[in-house]
Structures are given as structure tokens and as C-alpha cells.
Structure 1
Amino acid sequence: MVAAVGTTLSAEEPIELNGRRELFVDKALVESIDGSAEFVLHPPHDEGEVFQFDQPWEGLFCGYATMIHADGKYRLYYRGMPKAFSDGTTVESTCYAESTDGINWTRPELGLYEYDGSKDNNIILAQLAPFSHNFSPFYDDSPNADPKQRFKAIAGTKRTELHGFVSPDGIHWTKLQDEAIFKDPKGAYDSQNIAFWSEAEDCYVIYYRYFVNGRRSIARTTSKDFVNWTDPVYMSYSNTDSVTPRNHLYTNQTQPYFRAPHIYVATAARFMPGRRVLTPEQAEEVGVHASYFNDTADAVLMTSRGGGEYDCMFDEGFIRPGLALGNWVSRTNYPVLNVVQTGPDEMSLYVNQEYGQPSSNIHRYSMRLDGFASVKSRGEEGSITTKPFTFTGDKLAINFATSAAGSVKVEIQDADGNPLPGFTLDEAPDTIGNAIDRVVRWKEKGTDVSSLAGQPIRLKFVLDDADIFAFQFQK
């Protein structure tokens, strides 16, 4: 839970919201919060194991996985590594699985690379060390992307720096060029470095591993063409006000949220070296490799809207290890890159668990759409008021949930905080229920807010035993 922000309304230039969906995962649009209202993180629900790394070319040390939902198909990419070796050897390969629902998975026999005398496997990259160590693909949403390069990837270690790869179908990959596309003297890269096309920033973005003050941290760079990159920006963190995170951030898993791509959501792995939980006897019981039970890890949620800072408002565990002993070991509970939609009202986050064990697998965790966090009020009424903004559209939709006795009321104010006639709290009936996309109405005005489009306004949400997750002005 997060404490309230200040309650004094400020005069500032209105934010151009247009028709963007806004989530309550940060305070970017929040002017004040009052009463019992508070920000709350909503950890996802464990739906159980959906994929086990049980093939001979996969094994105990599969990891650095990526989920891509494109063209009506879910695609899972991951490192195959059946033996414990140093980073970047030919023991590692890159594997591929696919699904129509994000729950039931198949390994297509692709016939591309030989393992143990057979090509009947799902390996898409092999014998190209060190690039299978952390091969990290993405679907290129750029309107100018070459269809022959619709899928792109980055990979590499300190020895090679970061190289680019391209593919027309996400299965057949070639190097973009012989030399690295990005170099940073401070870059470590010995983790899952990630890239994506940013609609909001109109460029490609890479978030990658480096060390600062002995701690695993994150840097970023941008490019217009995926070849020429800007000087590094070493990320800072709102809970430290420095470039040193509070804990080791092993992977960053930063991604544009698919329903609000101007908001980057980072489901980062938080690593706690030397924080041992299991006894040697317990380690033997779960079958974890002898080198992999002296540390612990979980996942945290951070956000960014571009630039050089992560918002760490929710400085708490997002995915906890839980009851299974096998998740209280080193380098486990690492989220798969990308949250994807898996139902009309549901999205899923996948997590690599029981690392270094014969039972190494991926679990699926479910959330409501937009449901990373909310502003909630319990016990007594609370309210949240936005900064001034302009919008386009003719109706306001909210993602919210109330109890049977609870409610949400919405008031529209002018830029100075004065209630606008027809849109006051007295003219706002209680909004009750649980919906991803409920259109708000007022007693006389109905749902039509088009008369206010283009002029600076504020929204005030009054909550009674209710959560508000997101809002959007729509046409």
C-alpha cells in the first residue's frame, strides 16, 4: 500500500490525454488523494504449471524466456540448457513453443538443428555461442518495419556486445549484421536484455544489464533504425533517487503495456544473493543443483513513461516464492518477458520456476485487464483528483470494482477544481458492480461528454468500498 499524495491543487499546463487509457500504476496524472483512498498493488493469481522443461535439450537451466502474442498465436521463446556451464557455451540453445490459448502448448518439430543425432526438436538457434544464452525476441510494431524483419531480437554477452537478429516468421533467424549493433563499456549483458518498438517514443528501445556499486542494475538506449543507438542512460529509481537500486535487479522485463503502450511495465526479477532459505537436506529433497540453493529471488513491479527513471511506488513483492520449497532457491521466480491477454477480461504473466531442478517449469499467473494496481477505499469514503488534462472522445469508461454496498462516483471539474454543471457529484448516480469498461453516466447529461472535449478538465473519483484501476475517454 502507498501513502496519500498531497492535497493542494496546482496550476499547471494541462496534459494532452487524447484518447489514451490511463492506469493507476503511478502518480503521473494524480493531483491529490484524500480520505481512506490509497494506492494498492494487486499480485496476480497463480493458475499453476503450464509448461515443463522436460526434453533432453531443455533441462534444469532453461530460462530467459519471452512470450509474444501476435497473429492470433502465443509464442514462447526460451533458453535450452540441460547442464550447468558458464554463460555463452554451445551447451545452450534457443527453443520455441506455441499455443492457441496461452495455456496448452506444443513443441513443433522444426527440423532446423540437430540434437543427439536428431532434428526432431523445437530448437531455432544453436551452435552460435554466446547468443543463445540470452536471445530475446520481439514483434516489431513499427509502421515502417520490413515484413522480412517483422520479428527482431537482441543477444550477446560482454565478450560480443549486443547483436541484432531478424526473422520474417519468428522461427527462421539470421544476424542483422556481422558486428554488434550496440556497445557500452559499462554494459555487462549477462542477463536477459530486451528490446521493443515504442509507439509512444517513436523509436526502438533497449533495456540492458550493467553493474553499479556492485549491484545488478539497468540502463537504456534508443534508436530510430535498430542499428544506430544513442548514448546510454543509466536508470534511476524513485525509491532511491539514485542509479543504484535497493536490491539487485536480475532481469528488467520492461515492456509497453499492450492496452496503454505509453506506460512501460517492468516485471523485474529481484535477486537476493546469499539469502539462503533451504537446508542442505531440503535442497536434496527438491533435487536442486548443489550450486543453486544459496540465494532467493522474487519479482517486483516498476513502471516508466520513458526517460531515465523507474517509478518504484510499489516497493514490495509482486510475485512471491510461495509454499513450494523449490521456489526458495537461486535464480527462480523470474518472470517471462511480456504480459499478454488470455481472455476477454484476463491477462497473464508467466513465471520461470523451480530453476536448477528436474521439475523446472513455467507457471501462468492471471490478472484482470489493467489490474496491476488500483486506487482503493475501504471503511469510509476516499477520493482521488487528477491533474488538469484535455481529451478527445464523447464518453468516459472506467475499469472498476465495488462491493455490494460500495460505489464509485465521478465528478468532472474545470482546471481550477470547480465542479462543472451537469457533471457534479450530486448529479452522478452511484456506479456499482465490477467491469473492465463501464461507461459513466450523469443524471441529466447521460454519457455524452463531447461538449468538454479539448478543454482543460479534472476528474474526481469518489470511492466507497471500491477500486478504480483505469479510465479512458472513448468515441
Structure 2
Amino acid sequence: MLLNRILQVCLVLGCVNGLATAAEPVNIGSQRELFVDDHVVDKVEGDARLDLQQPVPRDVALVTSKPWEGNTCAYYTVFADTDDFGKAIFRMYYRGSNYNAKRRDQTHRQVVCYAESRDAIHWSKPNLGLVEFGGSRENNIVWDGAGSHCFTPFKDTSPNCRPDARYKALSQVHRSGKPHHAVQGEMTVFAYKSPDGIRWTISDGPLITKGDFDSQNAAFWDPYAGLYREYHRVRVLRKPGGEVVVGGRPAYGGFRSIMTGTSKNFLNWTSWTEPQVLEYTDDLGEQHLYTNAVMSCPRAPQILIGFPTRLLPEQGSRVEPILMASRDGRKFKRWDKPVVPEDAPADRKGNRSNYLAWGLVATPGSDREYSVYASESYLSGTDTRLRRFTYRVDGFVALRGGKRGGQLITRPLKVAGGRLEINYLARPGGHVRVEIQHADGRPLANFSADDCDPLVGDEIARFVTWNTDGNGPFSTRPIRVRFEVKDADLYSFRFVSGRSSR
């Protein structure tokens, strides 16, 4: 009997030890955390849910009505920059192309066009005088030739970047270096460079050979990981017997998917030797994802976010952008609800008529708003349009509390400071309250929800206080955070050091 009791106690202790191991604290330090994935989330209860946010449609930013543009302009890229005088400037690149549906062919060669803006709202097309089109160089064309189909540039912020390659790009090119439409056979990815974002040359290639590439092949410097990342399109066919075919004609009939690789120098890519297809931590199943639009999350660079285009072949090949997020660059959580629905606001029901541009920029003059851009009216008239949309800062996913109120409890966290800053919106009559708990769920003395001064109104950065005190011993041991939301939305939080005052 005694032996049985001892065995039972040992089993219980083993289970407790197992639970402790499973609840290892997540070290977030002073990083801002968003609710775009489950990284810090333990559970959501009551009248609360994690709710995908959709950006607000604004005015049309660009119309592709020039003779060298047309009704199949696509693969827009937007990023923030500074000019030679240190003033803010926003750069945009896109394919100039046009298609005659009756003749079923292109009406002119594909080119790469450029536009710029000082406010991310109003855009102009400068006459650059670089490329001849229709007997004139008065146009905004920056590239003409191999890679014009899906030329995707970025500004390289690596500390080791050479001045002559401060701007880089990837695009689909035949292995021989000729334009993809001029020859048949294996397509690859080549690299481009520019000292100023205007004058471009092919620098290296082929860099990547495993994939399909006829889409927006995004690359960028990831400052958090200290390396370059690239994302490109590939088909993946899973056969009934378990065989998986990746890329090329043998994979036709499979799902359009996304492949990734990394590099330390933008020349030698893991995509060449060890290409990796993205994996997903959600339960949405396989989906056709055409573009990827992956980037570092602003204000939270430890997170990668993407806005891939979901293709729905069974619904007339319509498309819609969705949101996905990752911590390691390969495993992503996808959100099912479209970021930009078809009715936001019009002309996005056709094939390729609803792509989100690659790029997200802070709107000048506002610390509360991001600008993003989505295409519309593809192949339905004589031109296409790019419309601006706006997100609240950090506002990709909200912890939304209803009128009855609910809560989110985090996993155990290791934090770097004693002040908690949150980004939230409380509707009239609503509020946010916060409780700091021990790792086992017991409230810390003086930091319970009842001690919390209710947060009302609408704040991008507000420090939480408990009985007017906003500084606590939170960094000395692992803690949990219980966010109580009643008729309110919570978008992000972070812990910082120092004293606070109301």
C-alpha cells in the first residue's frame, strides 16, 4: 500500500514538472507584442475574441493611363526613403503592361515604371528620360528588358551594404539572362542593383532556380535576424501516395504556394541549396497563395507579417489579400477573413483585381496611421487603379471586447521593465483593465484588475496604472498579464523601464 502511495505521489510530481516545462516563460523583454499570432496568448474568454482588422479605403492614389502603362499593370512596390537633402520621399515601382482581350495578346512590351510622393497620398510620375518608348524618353520608365514582368525592388538597410547597391531588386529571368517571354525553358531569379533607386543594372544571376517566380518575388534585409530574406512563388503537388512534387511543370495541378530562403550577402541563398516551402500553424488547409508581400512588422521587428493574395479558382479565379504572421520566417499563422474585401469599394471582383501592394508606410504627419495600397480594375478597362487604405498603428488584429466584457490571459512572460504601455480604443461606456499575475495565475498584490485605474478613450501609447502607480516589480520573475476588455479593442502592449506619472 505504501509503495502504491509513493508511486502515485511520484506520478503527480512528474505531471506537475511536465506542466512547468510546458509553461516555460516567453521572453519578450521590452519588445512590443501584437496579437497577430498565438505567441504570447494562452486563452481568450468571455465576450472577447481576436478580430482581424480591415484597413479603411481612401482615395485612388494612382491611375495607369499612360501609353506605356495600361490595364494589366501590377506588382506594385512602395517604401519610404529620404532624398539627397534628407527630406522624406516615398517611392513606388510597378509593371507597365497592357492586354488586348480580343486579340489575346499584349499591346506593347512590359516595362518597369516609377512614381513618387511626399505625403504617401498624392503621387506623381516624373519624366526621367532614361528609356525610349514610342519614340520618346519623356516617361517614368526605370527598367526595360529582362525582369520587367515582376521587378520587385527595396532599399537595403544592411550596415554592410555598398553605396552602389543601396537599392536592390529581384525578378524572374530565364537562365540565359533573356526576358522570360523571349525564350522557353527554366526560369530563375536574377538580382539588380542601383545607387539611387532610378538607374538600375543586373548585378548577379541566376541566384535561385527552385520555384516558378512569375509573381512578386520579395526580398529585404531583416534587421532583427541580421540577414536577407526572400519569398517567391512555387507550385506544390501532393500526390495520393504521399509523394510531394515542388516546382516546375511536374507540379502543375498542385497548389500555388510560397517558398523562402535566406542569405548573409544577397548572393549565396539557402533557396539554391535548401529551398523551404512555408508551413502554417493554423487549420485553414491548403490554399492557393499567389503573391506574398512579406515584410518586417513596423514597431515590432521580431514579427514578420505578410499579405499574400489568395486565389479562388473555383470562384471565377477571384483574388483577395489575407494576413499572415511568423516569428521564424517559415511557419506562419494565416487569418481567414480577407484584409481587403471585394466591395472595398469597387472593381475588385475580377482575376488579379485585388492585390495588396508590397509595402506599408507611416503616413506623414500622423503617429496613428499606416498607409497600404491595393489594386483594382485589372483587365476591365483601359487602365488599372491603385487605391490607398489606412490601418491604425499596430491595428492588424484586435483583442475585441463586447458589451458583456471578456479577457485574454497571456502565457508566462519574462519582461524587461516595470511599466506597461498599451495601444487601445475604448468605445463610449467601455474600458480596459489590466491585472498582473504570478506565473501560476495568482494576482500580484496591488496589481489586480480591481486595483487598475480603468483606461478609457483612444490612445496609441498609454501607461497602465494601479491606484495611480504605474511602476511594478514585473521584471524580477515570470508573470502573466490578464487584459480585461469591455466594449473596447486592444492592439498591442509592451513593458518598459522607468517611473510613470498619470
Residue of structure 2 equivalent to 1:235: 278
Q: Report if the CA contact (8 A) 1:395-1:473 is conserved.
A: yes
Q: In the alignment, residue 257 of structure 1 is paired with which amino acid?
A: C
Counterpart position of 1:320: 341
Provide the rounded CA distance (Å) in 2 between the counterparts of 1:238 and 1:67.
29
Q: Is the 8 A contact 1:182 1:227 kept in 2?
A: no
Specify the alignment match of 1:111 in structure 2: 129
Alignment correspondent of 1:40 = 51
The residue aligned with 1:420 is: 444
Q: What is residue 205 of structure 1 aligned with on the other side? A: 229
Please give the secondary structure, in 1, of the residue aligned with 2:214.
coil
Q: Give structure 2 stretches of 5+ with no counterpart.
A: 1-18, 83-87, 175-185, 238-253, 498-502
Match of 1:57 among 42, 45, 68: 68
Aligned 8 A contact 2:99 2:106 in 1: no
- Which segment is superposed worse, 347-356 or 454-463? 454-463
SS of 2:456's equivalent? coil
Is the counterpart of residue 386 in structure 1 residue 410 in structure 2? yes
Aligned mate of 1:92, from 89, 110, 119 = 110
- Shift in Å, 1:427: 1.3
**Alpha-carbon distance in 2 for matches of 1:396, 1:440:** 6
Deviation at 1:417, TM superposition (A): 1.9
* Aligned residues of 1:157 and 1:188 also touching (Cα < 8 A): no
**Structure of higher CA gyration radius:** 2
Does 2:91 match 1:75?
Answer: yes
Q: Letter of the 2:479 partner, please give it.
A: I
Question: How big is the shift at 1:88?
Answer: 11
Q: How far off its partner does 1:37 sit?
A: 1.5
The answer to whether the 8 Å contact 2:98/2:106 transfers is: no
CA drift at 1:344:
1.9
Tell me whether 411-420 or 18-27 shows the greater mean CA deviation.
411-420
User: Given the superposition, is the C-alpha separation of residues 386 and 274 from structure 1 closer, same or farther in structure 2, using an over 3 Å criterion?
Assistant: closer
Q: Aligned match of 2:26 in 9, 15, 34? A: 15
Say whether the 8 Å CA contact 2:187–2:213 is kept in structure 1: no
Give yes or no for the alignment of 1:219 onto 2:259.
yes
CA distance in structure 1 between the partners assigned to 2:148 and 2:113 by the alignment: 9
Q: Aligned pair 1:172/2:212, yes or no?
A: no
One of 139, 160, 164 as aligned partner of 1:121: 139
The answer to whether structure 1 residue 345 and structure 2 residue 368 are counterparts is yes
Cα separation, 1, equivalents of 2:109 and 2:135: 15
Query: Structure 1 residues 377 and 240 mapped into 2: Cα distance closer, same or farther (>3 Å)?
Result: closer
3-state secondary structure, aligned to 2:164: helix
Q: Which moved more, 1:337-346 or 1:245-254?
A: 245-254
Q: Secondary structure at the match of 1:453?
A: helix
Structure 1 counterpart of 2:482: 460
In the other structure, the counterpart of 2:207 is: 181
Deviation at residue 246 of structure 1 after TM alignment: 3.2
Conservation of the 8 A alpha-carbon contact between 1:157 and 1:190: no
Cα distance, 1:457 vs. partner? 1.5
Give the TM-score taking structure 2 as reference length: 0.83
User: Across the two proteins, how many residue pairs are aligned to each other?
Assistant: 439
CA displacement, residues 280-333 of structure 1 (integer Å, 9 cap, x when unaligned): xxxxxxxxxxxxxxx311111111112432202x21222111176632111111
1:25 corresponds to: 36
1:306: which partner in 2? Answer: 328
Aligned to 2:172: 156
Residues 14 and 238 from structure 1, CA distance in 2 versus in 1: closer, same or farther, beyond 3 angstroms?
closer
Call closer, same or farther: CA 1:90–1:328 in 2, change over 3 Å: closer
The one-letter amino acid paired with 2:66 is Q
**In the alignment, is the contact (CA less than 8 A) between 2:28 and 2:414 conserved in 1?**
yes
Normalising to structure 1: TM-score of the pair? Answer: 0.88
SS in 2 for 1:148: helix
Q: Which residue of 2 aligns with 1:402?
A: 426
Shift in alpha-carbon separation, 1:240–1:409, aligned structure 2, 3 A: closer
Helix, strand or coil for the counterpart of 1:251?
A: coil
Counterpart-to-counterpart distance in 2, 1:382 and 1:325: 36
Contact 1:240 1:246 (8 Å CA) reproduced: no
Once residues 395 and 437 of structure 1 are traced to their aligned partners in structure 2, the CA distance between those partners, rounded to angstroms, is: 12
Q: Residues of 2 paired with 1:416 and 1:338: CA distance?
A: 41
Amino acid aligned to 2:206: A
Give the partner amino acid of 2:236.
V
What is the CA RMSD across the aligned residues, in angstroms? 2.2
- Equivalent pair of 1:239/1:315 in contact (CA under 8 Å): no
- Percentage identity across aligned positions? 36
Partner of 2:178: none
